[in-house]
């Protein structure tokens, strides 16, 4: 009968600890296991102990082999396993008696390919055991999609995880033999072909840290220069194995945005732990890997890859290595010195600190000059656009009244009917409240209010502003906001703060009439395509592909991260997950206006090398968000309002930040928001945030108005703008 779980136990000279290890296995509360003990040429009494236990328990099977190391022993275990699941346990470690019963119960559905539990570190000090509770306590909880971002945060150890044997065999995943760091390519390869992992906080595995354990030997190797022990570039060799696996199974799309960082880390670690005489071998091996897998072509803008590929090692900071061939003749400039070589003789001239400082100052001055020129150019463009708008607008100027949102006095009519505000004035001493506007430092102003014993309110542009963003030189009629929010706790889109909006969403109950009103306003916004700003072109590109799943990925202007939270996702993490979730899809990327040209070129150069079944498009025209959303099947956002607009259009929305509309059961959230306890309908979320929480103003009458009146005004202004 096929067992449910195989436990592979490599054994080498561990007679002192072996009984405790085997006792923890034979006494497992989960009985349907096979225990494969691989005796890797032990020279002590380990084989006697193994035979003793095998006679008592038929689940224990012994395999004797010539010593070949940990990897060869584990690989023999894989080849002889007969179960559905497999795990590994070093013979000087042990597990809790209920470890495998608990872990196997976490394979809750077919999508779970890996269960990861936590570990205790047991220190062997003077014969005593000391527990370190912080050892290998992973950051994730529960069911998590395995992507390159998640993998980057995980330890690679083989013994605190349970794997599916079918995946290991189907992809031919094995431990590289004769190398240190053998866990790295095994785990990375397995994780890349997995779907989901289940993370358990329970500490089910106990790792014994002793003088001759594999991990301590590895640490010792690092400290005594790995190259001195015939493992001069094992990190690189293991990474080479991983690269071979990636390209064999066409998995580059899963690591496209992270692979260069992985390599650079491995390369730096190898160099930092190398003795001086072995730097040359590491550099040459790195060049071999770069050229073997054409990494310089996959990442054409990566300076390190280009330098290694062309063997211009002298350009690498802190290395500055010149090959034997280059020493014959040449002039080589590095960041810190100039070297002239002639027939093997090197003459070095160091760049002095004063010259470096002068170079830095000159470079900084050039950038400042360029910035000033670009700023002047922007002002000219904005002024010209504003002038054109004024000329079109002049015939109607007497029919409309506008205000300047920068001047506090012009906000006065906003607050005439608001009981929360009194004594609105520019003089702090005469007021009982302090206001923070959206571009000010909210925390400093909150502190000022507290010190002055005054009320604090945060004022921010509402969810629907006007036609264009507020620029000082633009026509006020098109840029002055028609909605605003007042919050006593902070910015409504910052999930780190329990804002007034969040409290309303947690408590307010709505009746049928309010829900109907909400539904009607949503319909009006969607049908008339009213976004926060509305200066969009009516002619736009078609980004949709009918035979593919169309996925919009939006880069935020401002990414707000969860404070005191161990896991946060940036744009690259979100993008790579969207690609991994849709390997044959059409990925449409909307970059932020803050994304610099260098970053744009990097993204485009890397993504251009992805698999042919995947389409990548870039939003390059000024398209209305609703026109873009309507072409998509799902949307990925960080904290942009376009995520809520996508919900209004009935699209699935994946959220990687902490915006106000996440955490209420409407979005697929990557970050848990435990304070948000209710399940809301779209109509409830919209009414409370857009109608209850947000205020609207009619600039014609200078009075607070309802959202419907504000939308009508916006439609009027929008028609004039055209």
Asked whether the beta carbons of 81 and 166 are under 8 A apart, the reply is: no
Q: Is residue 485 a part of any domain in this protein?
A: no
Mean pLDDT of 572-589: 94
Strands 112-125 and 161-164: antiparallel
Collapsing DSSP to helix, strand or coil, 637 comes out as: strand
Q: Is residue 14 a part of any domain in this protein?
A: yes
CA angle 500, 712, 706 (to 5 degrees): 35
Choose between 172 and 596: higher pLDDT. 172
613: phi then psi, degrees, rounded to nearest 5: -75, -15
In 276-356, the DSSP E strands lie at 329-333, 337-342, 345-350
Asked whether the beta carbons of 666 and 571 are under 8 A apart, the reply is: no
For the chain, the distance separating the N- and C-terminal CA atoms, rounded to the nearest angstrom, is 76
- Which residues contact residue 87 at a Cβ distance below 8 angstroms, ignoring those fewer than 6 apart? 5, 6, 7, 8, 100, 103, 159, 161, 162, 163
455: phi then psi, degrees, rounded to nearest 5: -70, 150
Choose between 201 and 320: higher pLDDT. 201
175 DSSP assignment: P
Residue 597: per-residue pLDDT: 86
Residue 344: per-residue pLDDT: 61
Residue 224: per-residue pLDDT: 43
Q: Does the structure show a pLDDT above 80 at 427?
A: no
What's the whole-number average pLDDT of the chain? 82
Residue with tokens 């633009």: 474
Collapsing DSSP to helix, strand or coil, 415 comes out as: coil
The structural domain count of the chain equals 1
Q: Is residue 651 a part of any domain in this protein?
A: no
Structure token digits, residue 231:
């493992």
Q: What is the CATH number of the domain that holds 83?
A: 3.90.550.10
- Which residues contact residue 597 at a Cβ distance below 8 angstroms, ignoring those fewer than 6 apart? none
Instruction: Give the pLDDT confidence of 458-472 residue by residue, as tens digits.
Output: 777 889 877 665 544
Q: Is residue 57 a part of any domain in this protein?
A: yes
Mean pLDDT: which of 125-129, 369-373, 573-577 is highest? 573-577
CA–CA distance, 20 with 94 (Å, rounded to integer): 7
Q: Is residue 537 a part of any domain in this protein?
A: no
Instruction: Domain of residue 78: give its range.
Output: 5-223
Q: Does the structure show a pLDDT above 60 at 147?
A: yes
Instruction: Give the pLDDT confidence of 370-426 residue by residue, as tens digits.
Output: 766 766 665 566 455 445 544 443 444 333 333 233 344 444 444 443 333 334 445
DSSP string, 597-612: HHHHHHHHHHHTTS-T
Secondary structure of 652-670 as H, E, C letters: CEEECCCCCCCCCCCCEEC
Neighbour count for residue 189 (Cβ, 10 Å) = 23
Segments in 324-428 forming alpha helices (H)? 353-393
Nearest of 80, 19, 28 to residue 46 by alpha carbon: 19
Least confident of 19-28, 159-168, 223-232, 647-656: 223-232
CA–CA distance, 437 with 461 (Å, rounded to integer): 9
Asked whether the beta carbons of 635 and 653 are under 8 A apart, the reply is: yes
Nearest of 97, 95, 47 to residue 67 by alpha carbon: 47
Segments in 394-510 forming alpha helices (H)? 442-451, 476-479, 500-507
pTM of the predicted model over 0.85: no
Percent of the chain with pLDDT over 70: 75
CA–CA distance, 115 with 205 (Å, rounded to integer): 13
Q: Give the DSSP H/E element, type plus range, for residue 179.
A: none
Choose between 696 and 439: higher pLDDT. 696
CA–CA distance, 718 with 530 (Å, rounded to integer): 10
Asked whether the beta carbons of 113 and 165 are under 8 A apart, the reply is: no
Segments in 200-258 forming alpha helices (H)? 214-223, 234-248, 252-255
Q: Is residue 44 a part of any domain in this protein?
A: yes
Nearest of 167, 172, 158 to residue 71 by alpha carbon: 158
Q: Is residue 640 a part of any domain in this protein?
A: no
Residue 538: per-residue pLDDT: 74
Instruction: Give the pLDDT confidence of 585-615 residue by residue, as tens digits.
Output: 999 999 998 888 888 999 999 999 987 789 9
Least confident of 220-234, 242-256, 259-273, 342-356: 220-234
325 burial type by CB count under 10 A (0-12 exposed, 13-18 middle, 19+ buried): exposed
Structure token digits, residue 302:
């990566």
> What's the pLDDT band for 442 if we cut at 50, 70, 90?
low
Instruction: Give the pLDDT confidence of 253-292 residue by residue, as tens digits.
Output: 999 999 999 999 999 898 888 887 888 889 999 999 999 9
Residue count (the chain): 722
Residue 411: per-residue pLDDT: 47
Q: Is residue 19 a part of any domain in this protein?
A: yes
């Amino acid at each position: 009968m096929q067992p449910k779980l195989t436990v592979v136990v490599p054994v080498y000279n561990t007679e002192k600890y072996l009984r405790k290890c085997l006792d923890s296995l034979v006494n497992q509360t989960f009985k349907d296991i096979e225990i494969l003990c691989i005796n890797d040429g032990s020279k002590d009494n380990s084989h006697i102990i193994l035979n003793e236990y095998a006679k008592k328990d038929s689940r224990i099977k012994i395999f004797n082999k010539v010593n070949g190391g940990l990897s060869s022993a584990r690989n023999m275990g894989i080849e002889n396993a007969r179960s559905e699941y497999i795990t590994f346990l070093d013979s000087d470690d042990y597990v809790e008696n209920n470890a495998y019963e608990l872990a196997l119960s976490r394979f809750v559905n077919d999508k779970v390919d890996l269960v990861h539990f936590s570990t205790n570190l047991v220190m062997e000090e003077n014969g005593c055991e000391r527990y370190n509770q912080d050892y290998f306590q992973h950051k994730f909880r529960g069911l998590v999609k395995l992507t390159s971002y998640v993998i980057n945060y995980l330890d690679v150890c083989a013994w605190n995880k349970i794997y599916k044997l079918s995946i290991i065999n189907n992809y031919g995943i094995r431990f590289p033999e004769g190398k240190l760091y053998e866990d790295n390519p095994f785990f990375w390869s397995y994780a890349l072909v997995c779907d989901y992992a289940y993370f358990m906080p329970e500490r089910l595995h106990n790792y014994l840290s002793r003088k001759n354990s594999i991990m301590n030997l590895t640490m010792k190797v690092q400290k005594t220069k790995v190259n001195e022990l015939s493992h001069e570039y094992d990190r690189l060799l293991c990474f080479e194995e991983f690269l071979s696996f990636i390209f064999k199974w066409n998995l580059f799309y899963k690591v496209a945005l992270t692979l260069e960082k992985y390599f650079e880390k491995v390369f730096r670690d190898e160099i930092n732990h190398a003795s001086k005489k072995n730097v040359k071998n590491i550099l040459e091996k790195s060049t071999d890997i770069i050229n073997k897998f054409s990494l310089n072509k996959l990442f054409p803008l990566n300076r390190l890859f280009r330098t290694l590929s062309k063997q211009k090692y002298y350009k690498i900071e802190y290395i500055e290595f010149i090959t034997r061939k280059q020493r014959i003749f040449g002039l080589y400039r590095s960041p810190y010195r100039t070297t002239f070589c002639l027939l093997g003789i090197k003459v070095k001239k160091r760049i002095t600190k004063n010259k470096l400082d002068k170079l830095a100052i000159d470079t900084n001055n050039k950038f400042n000059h360029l910035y000033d020129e670009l700023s002047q150019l922007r002002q000219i463009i904005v002024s010209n656009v504003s002038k054109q708008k004024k000329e079109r607008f002049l015939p109607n100027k007497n029919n409309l009244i506008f205000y300047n949102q920068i001047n506090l006095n012009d906000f006065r009519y906003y607050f005439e009917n608001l009981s929360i505000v009194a004594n609105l004035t520019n003089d702090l001493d005469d007021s009982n409240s302090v206001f923070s506007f959206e571009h000010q430092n909210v925390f400093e102003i909150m502190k000022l209010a507290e010190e002055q014993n005054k009320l604090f309110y945060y004022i921010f542009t509402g969810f629907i502003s006007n036609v264009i963003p507020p620029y000082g030189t633009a026509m006020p009629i098109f840029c002055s906001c028609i909605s605003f929010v007042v919050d006593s706790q902070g910015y409504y889109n910052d999930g780190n703060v329990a804002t007034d909006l969040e409290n309303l969403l947690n408590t307010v109950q709505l009746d049928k009439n309010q829900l109907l009103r909400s539904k009607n306003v949503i319909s009006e916004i969607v049908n008339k395509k009213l976004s926060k700003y509305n200066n969009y072109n009516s002619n736009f590109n078609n980004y949709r592909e009918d035979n593919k799943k169309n996925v919009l990925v939006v880069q935020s202007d401002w990414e707000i991260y969860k404070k005191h939270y161990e896991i946060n996702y940036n744009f690259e993490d979100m993008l790579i997950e969207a690609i991994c979730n849709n390997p044959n899809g059409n990925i449409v990327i909307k970059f932020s206006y803050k994304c610099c040209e260098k970053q744009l070129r990097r993204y485009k150069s890397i993504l251009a090398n992805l698999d042919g079944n995947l389409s990548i498009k870039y939003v390059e025209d000024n398209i209305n968000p609703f026109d873009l959303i309507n072409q998509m099947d799902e949307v990925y956002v960080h904290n942009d309002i376009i995520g809520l607009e996508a919900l209004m259009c009935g699209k699935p929305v994946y959220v990687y930040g902490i915006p106000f509309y996440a955490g209420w059961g409407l979005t697929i959230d990557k970050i848990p928001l435990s304070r948000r306890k209710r399940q809301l309908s779209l109509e409830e979320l919209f009414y409370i945030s857009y109608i209850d929480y947000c205020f609207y103003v009619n600039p014609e009458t200078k009075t607070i108005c309802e959202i419907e009146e504000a939308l009508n005004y916006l439609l009027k202004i929008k028609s004039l703008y055209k």
